[in-house]
Amino acid sequence: MKFLKELGKKLGIIRSNKTEEIREKRSLINETLENNLKKIGFTQEEVDEVFKIITKCDNEIQRIKDDMIGTNVNNEFAVETTQSYLKEIRNLENQMGLDVRAKIAEIQQRKNM
């Protein structure tokens, strides 16, 4: 099915929707993470602890994106403002990665006790 979808996009039969593509990729990444955590012995509650960090970061990023909506492109500082927002998003994503790794390590340590 994915092959036909990609072929349809290349031929112009199916319109490419970047937002939907990103959503699908994120969903696949989340599924993979959940499966990998369960393979190493995490319970659903422990998996939920990890995903709570991801959800919190997603909510913060959405808040920043919502703030960007009001940015006037005709403003002389639009580029600087946008770059500031993007830097803040990158920082949140980097911190989320560190927090997720720390939470996984914490849970693994807790399980070994």
In tens, the pLDDT along 79-101 reads: 888 889 899 999 999 999 999 99
The DSSP code for 43 is: -
Flag whether pLDDT at 113 surpasses 50. no
Q: Is the pTM of this model over 0.85?
A: no
What are the CA-CA distances from residue 42 to residues 9, 13, 26, 32 (Å)?
Answer: 39, 43, 21, 14
Task: Output the CA angle 64-70-73, nearest 5 degrees.
Answer: 110
Return the CA Rg of the chain: 19
15-57 pLDDT tens trace: 667 778 888 898 999 999 999 999 999 999 999 999 999 999 9
Q: 3-state DSSP call for residue 41?
A: coil
Largest CA distance in the chain: 58
**Mean of pLDDT values over 53-72:** 88
